A and B are shown apart, each in its own frame.
Chain A
Amino acid sequence: MSTGLRDRFFALSSGEASAEEAARYRAEVDANHAGPAAVVDGLSVSWHPTARFKSVRFVEADRIDAAVRDSFARPSAEAPYLAAVFVDPLELSFRTFENILPLDHLFAEAAAGFELTGREEVAEGAYTFSLRLPGPARAALEGLDSLGLYVPPLNAASRGGDRFIFHSALLAEALTGAVAKALPEPLLDGFSHVNPVFRCNRFEPGDANFHRHLDTPYYDGARGHVSRYTVLLYLTGGSGDPVLDLSGGAALTEIAPFTCVLFDQRYEHEGAPYRDGRKVFLRTELVFTDPGTGHDPEIGALFSKACYLTGESVFAPELARHADDYYDRVARAHWNGLAPGPDREPFVHKRFGGVDYVANGYDFWFPESGELSLAECAAITLMDYFNCRIGETSFRARCDSEVIEAEDTAWIPGFLRERSGGSAVPPFDKSLLFPEPERPVADAEMPCCSFHGMDGMDTTRSEEVIDCYIEAQEEAKAEVMPAPILILGEEAVLDPDRFAVQGNRIHVLGKSALAPVNFAACQGPGFASGDFVDTATTVGAVDLLVPPILFTESEGCYHLRFDFFRNSWTAGHQEQTAALIPVIRPLEESDFHFDEDDYYDEDEYDEEDEEEEEDEE
């Protein structure tokens, strides 16, 4: 049945199914409550849609656990290394909202000899070109549409059509060379490259317009990179009224295939489907090196809020509108400074465990109470921001949330005072997971097998068992000890020593590199010292390498401010890894007994016996 659900998803996605058939399929999906098959990028994934795993995305198949890999569909014949996985939208965070596909291989033989010709300035800072390119490259680009990789866009409420995002350094490099030759000299000042992340958009006649908007500029503070021009590369031609409208600039009504449009990102613009035929185009940006680019903390805060509200819109769809508005304001602010926003802005009141707090994605307010430490406030902020998985459920899905729109923040202290304070992420002494091994008995040797020398053997003091125990402990410690937050089953705990408060900053101490932990205890008829080292529990180590969290205390509130993006271009965050906590187990009765079933199949034995008897006769 699940195979059917998987395959029918792709059959129905072709759009040829009747409404009844689609409704019947959705009902079957809603009735399917299968659990996850694997974890990829910190997301639980299923190989078929279920009531929980409804959002399709594509990942490189070799990143899926080999034991279940073959169950996942490979819907694209041209990119067979990509497997379709279904994820729980509640688990998504800003790190995983976008599904960027690696498609460089499509252009391995075809990304050279690009040329932009016929430059026409259609408005100030807006140009059209015709892209000339060799046949194989043209075919590779035209083939993008038929890869079958489209997924519903994140901002489907404000735009029509389908979209997928891909990365190709080779395509970007070929376009970079063409742009460098074709742009007017003054515009090339500081030009660095074409962004290798492309959005492939498809619109059918009758689809909703891509409503008037500003493109969010690419920004990399660490490298001093900022985008100034949008690049649209139309892979199909057509006409519209208009197809592209640059407000206050030009309106393009006729588009020939492989037309390239470059325009200043200050242009607000709107796109429309072709009157006839499919419209397929790529969007990316021209990136410039601009050492003078600064960072306005307020813009960073607004961008942080926008990302947060995008995530929260999964729970409260009305927040998508606010998120779009924030993105738009950020884009405008990039060119013109931050303009005043609307009178009211959204906040989310959340309750996690026993803790009530208010957040907007940049500011996080907690009630000051004896039970709630600053470290706990910081831990909750980070788990919310990154939507960490706790056991089988994402942090945000574990919260009770309500959206509150307000004109300012003055109401928050009183609001939180009225709610009972509690604790939800208790401190944890990690040394409890790693008791010192006992002193080994001198010169004690492991028995040769389970028949000999087991009497009186004490696994907890066997030197060989202890060596295995120490080795397993060291592997687990490497993951557990640096982690500021641990996930124990369905609960989160924190290590107070990994949260250092200095002045008005909370430094969260993490590590930069992670390695998987593998420790396997084996059980067999014979035995080795490792057989007596078991797993007591599996601990999730949430590793975070983040900028300091700023905080102030006022009116009975801790007010934390966290802007991951301001410094994040060189900072990393990785979802939790699992560490197996070892324990030495004592001898058990089964260690002494020889299980005949392990060696003899009774029927087989009888048959052999009978055969021997017959031979004798």
Chain B
Amino acid sequence: MQLATLEQALRERPGDRASWIAYAERLTERGDARGELIRLEQRRERLPPVRRGEAEREIAALVEEHRKDWDAELPPEADVLERRYGFAAKVRVEWSDRAPVAVNEVMRSPFVTALQLAPDDRMDDAPWYEDPWDEAPGEEPTEPHPSLDAGALATLDLGRLTELELPYLRIGAIGAGALAVSAHVRADPSGTGAAGAGRLDALDLRYCGIGDSGLAGLADSPRFSGARRLHLQRNMLTAEGVRALHRFDRLTELDLRYNDLGEEGVRALLAAPFAGSLRRLLLNPADTGAGGARMLASATLLPPGIRSYWRSV
């Protein structure tokens, strides 16, 4: 099997121990210490917890010796947040003009399937979120402008990711649209390849200011609408945005806090096809209003535990 094919198989089935052993042999042939690391970690997992000490010491020594070399394969803008057998699995890149290049370099690392794009302190030091008291009565809140070159998002190759996080990065509705374009441009028409529909499992867009229209753009993209876990705190979403959420039909975890949904938004939420499958729903009474809270308390399609919570607030 070609190395690239083996790597793709392992990205898709990271629990396939036999394939990892096959991969370990290939690594060892190339003099890559991660081959030994794979064998050590698998051996440790087979041992009872009380007898893992020696294996863990060996692993720690091996990682200590080689980690810098392994990380040197990544661009300097990348911080490794999670690893799998020494390979970067989740990476954080701080947004800058060079970020798109850095991200595309990160995506060449064989096992990165989770990416976090984060603002630097300068971008994040002055929240711009909605200020409804500046609006005239009855006037719709304006959508925030992005604090970055949102068009650059369209150039990112995010096709193989299962988790994408952009927390506190002000991409705005334009940025959300650019992400959708990125997915569209790189979509595999067959739907079976790396950019196949439904691969993305978790999407974190908290405080991104995407608004209803941005969310609608993402919902139109099969690449994003297959997500099961969605963080959408403080995105200026209204009932209209919640209706766009209906296209995320596999959702099981949803965080909609700090969006002024009101009763209409809750009604839209309860009409969503995923409402009966939600295991985790985070909202505050301030987001739903008293009427919305009552609707959640009596929504028989929600899990009983969530319903009980809303009956108590």
Residues of A within 8 Å of B258, CB to CB, are 460, 586
Q: Report if A491-B311 is in contact (Cβ < 8 Å); known contacts: A456-B128, A460-B258, A586-B258.
A: yes
Q: Is the CB of A426 within 8 A of B305?
A: yes
Contact of A585 among B124, B127, B286, B309 (CB under 8 A): B286
Number of interface residues of A (CB under 8 A): 34
Q: Is the CB of A456 within 8 A of B303?
A: no
Q: Is the CB of B308 within 8 A of A493?
A: yes
Please tell me if B207 contacts chain A, counting CB pairs below 8 Å: yes
Please tell me if A592 contacts chain B, counting CB pairs below 8 Å: yes
Contact of A537 among B257, B304, B313 (CB under 8 A): B313
With the chains together, A426 CA to B279 CA distance in Å?
13
- Closest Cβ of chain A to B279, distance in Å, is 7
Contact of A583 among B167, B280, B284, B311 (CB under 8 A): B284
Stretch at the interface among A95-103, A105-113, A399-407, A427-435: A427-435
Residues of A within 8 Å of B309, CB to CB, are 428, 432-433, 488, 537
Please tell me if B140 contacts chain A, counting CB pairs below 8 Å: no
Contact of B257 among A435, A491, A538 (CB under 8 A): A435
Q: What residue in chain B is nearest A540 (Cβ atoms)?
A: B312
- Closest Cβ of chain A to B240, distance in Å, is 20
Residues of A within 8 Å of B4, CB to CB, are none
Q: Report if A456-B127 is in contact (Cβ < 8 Å); known contacts: A488-B309, A536-B313.
A: yes
Q: Report if A427-B305 is in contact (Cβ < 8 Å); known contacts: A435-B282, A460-B258.
A: yes
Please tell me if B45 contacts chain A, counting CB pairs below 8 Å: no
Please tell me if B234 contacts chain A, counting CB pairs below 8 Å: yes
Please tell me if B29 contacts chain A, counting CB pairs below 8 Å: no
Interface string of A433-461 (1 = CB under 8 A from B): 10100110111100000000001111011
Residues of B within 8 Å of A456, CB to CB, are 126-129, 131
Residues of A within 8 Å of B12, CB to CB, are none
Please tell me if A489 contacts chain B, counting CB pairs below 8 Å: yes
Please tell me if A423 contacts chain B, counting CB pairs below 8 Å: yes
- Closest Cβ of chain B to A447, distance in Å, is 13
Please tell me if B125 contacts chain A, counting CB pairs below 8 Å: yes
Q: Is the CB of B311 within 8 A of A488?
A: yes
With the chains together, A491 CA to B124 CA distance in Å?
42
Residues of B within 8 Å of A537, CB to CB, are 309, 312-313
Residues of B within 8 Å of A439, CB to CB, are 167-168
- Closest Cβ of chain A to B130, distance in Å, is 10
Q: Is the CB of B305 within 8 A of A458?
A: no
Residues of B within 8 Å of A586, CB to CB, are 258, 286
With the chains together, A539 CA to B305 CA distance in Å?
13
Please tell me if A490 contacts chain B, counting CB pairs below 8 Å: yes
Residues of A within 8 Å of B121, CB to CB, are 442-443
Q: Report if A438-B131 is in contact (Cβ < 8 Å); known contacts: A429-B279, A432-B309.
A: no
- Closest Cβ of chain B to A588, distance in Å, is 8
Q: Is the CB of B133 within 8 A of A592?
A: yes
Q: Is the CB of A490 within 8 A of B311?
A: yes
Q: Is the CB of A432 within 8 A of B280?
A: yes
Q: Is the CB of B305 within 8 A of A493?
A: yes
Residues of A within 8 Å of B124, CB to CB, are 441-442
List B residues 152-196 near A (Cβ within 8 Å).
Answer: 167-168
Name which of A427, A583, A586 has the most chain B CB atoms within 10 A of its CB: A586
List B residues 294-309 near A (Cβ within 8 Å).
Answer: 303-306, 308-309
Q: What residue in chain A is nearest B311 (Cβ atoms)?
A: A489
Please tell me if B255 contacts chain A, counting CB pairs below 8 Å: yes
Q: Is the CB of A426 within 8 A of B303?
A: yes
List A residues 565-604 near B (Cβ within 8 Å).
Answer: 583, 585-586, 589, 592
With the chains together, A592 CA to B126 CA distance in Å?
19
How many inter-chain residue pairs (CB < 8 Å) link A and B?
86
Residues of A within 8 Å of B146, CB to CB, are none
Q: Report if A429-B305 is in contact (Cβ < 8 Å); known contacts: A438-B206, A458-B129, A589-B133.
A: yes
With the chains together, A85 CA to B235 CA distance in Å?
53
Q: Is the CB of B131 within 8 A of A536?
A: no
With the chains together, A592 CA to B303 CA distance in Å?
39
Q: Report if A442-B125 is in contact (Cβ < 8 Å); known contacts: A427-B305, A491-B308, A493-B305.
A: yes
Q: Report if A426-B304 is in contact (Cβ < 8 Å); known contacts: A488-B311, A489-B311, A585-B286.
A: yes
Interface residues on chain B, size class: 20 to 34
Q: Is the CB of A539 within 8 A of B308?
A: no
With the chains together, A427 CA to B281 CA distance in Å?
15
Residues of A within 8 Å of B127, CB to CB, are 441, 444, 456-458, 461
Q: Is the CB of A539 within 8 A of B306?
A: no
Please tell me if B285 contacts chain A, counting CB pairs below 8 Å: yes
Q: Is the CB of A455 within 8 A of B285?
A: no
With the chains together, A455 CA to B128 CA distance in Å?
9
Q: Is the CB of A489 within 8 A of B312?
A: yes
Residues of A within 8 Å of B285, CB to CB, are 536, 583
Q: What residue in chain A is nearest B206 (Cβ atoms)?
A: A438
- Closest Cβ of chain A to B310, distance in Å, is 9
- Closest Cβ of chain B to A552, distance in Å, is 27
Q: Is the CB of A438 within 8 A of B207?
A: yes
With the chains together, A443 CA to B258 CA distance in Å?
22
List B residues 255-286 near A (Cβ within 8 Å).
Answer: 255, 257-258, 279-282, 284-286
Please tell me if B233 contacts chain A, counting CB pairs below 8 Å: yes
Q: Is the CB of A539 within 8 A of B312?
A: yes
Residues of A within 8 Å of B126, CB to CB, are 441, 456
Q: What residue in chain B is nearest A440 (Cβ atoms)?
A: B124
Q: Is the CB of A428 within 8 A of B308?
A: yes
With the chains together, A432 CA to B131 CA distance in Å?
28
Residues of B within 8 Å of A489, CB to CB, are 308, 311-312
With the chains together, A127 CA to B161 CA distance in Å?
88
Residues of B within 8 Å of A443, CB to CB, are 121, 125
With the chains together, A539 CA to B312 CA distance in Å?
8
Interface string of A511-541 (1 = CB under 8 A from B): 0000000000000000000000000111100
Q: Is the CB of A536 within 8 A of B305?
A: no
With the chains together, A536 CA to B124 CA distance in Å?
28
Q: What residue in chain B is nearest A488 (Cβ atoms)?
A: B312
Q: Is the CB of A444 within 8 A of B133?
A: no
Residues of A within 8 Å of B284, CB to CB, are 536, 583, 585
Interface string of A245-288 (1 = CB under 8 A from B): 00000000000000000000000000000000000000000000
Residues of B within 8 Å of A429, CB to CB, are 279-280, 305
Residues of A within 8 Å of B167, CB to CB, are 439
With the chains together, A429 CA to B302 CA distance in Å?
14
With the chains together, A589 CA to B133 CA distance in Å?
8
Q: What residue in chain B is nearest A592 (Cβ atoms)?
A: B133
List A residues 133-188 near B (Cβ within 8 Å).
Answer: none
Name which of B121, B279, B286, B306 has the most chain A CB atoms within 10 A of its CB: B286
- Closest Cβ of chain A to B31, distance in Å, is 41
Residues of B within 8 Å of A457, CB to CB, are 127
List B residues 196-252 near A (Cβ within 8 Å).
Answer: 206-207, 233-234
Residues of B within 8 Å of A589, CB to CB, are 133
Q: What residue in chain A is nearest B282 (Cβ atoms)?
A: A435
Q: Is the CB of A488 within 8 A of B280?
A: no
Q: What residue in chain B is nearest A539 (Cβ atoms)?
A: B312
Q: Is the CB of A438 within 8 A of B304?
A: no
Q: What residue in chain A is nearest B126 (Cβ atoms)?
A: A456
With the chains together, A359 CA to B30 CA distance in Å?
69
Known pairs A429-B279, A443-B125 / 4 extra A-B pairs, C-beta < 8 Å: A426-B303, A435-B255, A438-B206, A439-B168
30 examples of A-B residue contacts, CB within 8 angstroms:
A423-B304, A426-B303, A426-B308, A427-B305, A428-B305, A428-B308, A429-B279, A432-B305, A432-B309, A438-B206, A438-B207, A439-B168, A441-B125, A442-B124, A442-B125, A443-B125, A455-B131, A456-B129, A460-B233, A460-B257, A461-B127, A461-B207, A488-B311, A491-B308, A536-B284, A536-B285, A536-B313, A537-B309, A538-B312, A592-B133
Which B residues form the contact surface with A (CB < 8 A)?
121, 124-129, 131, 133, 167-168, 206-207, 233-234, 255, 257-258, 279-282, 284-286, 303-306, 308-309, 311-313
Q: Which 3 A-B pairs have the closest CB atoms?
A: A489-B312, A426-B304, A488-B312
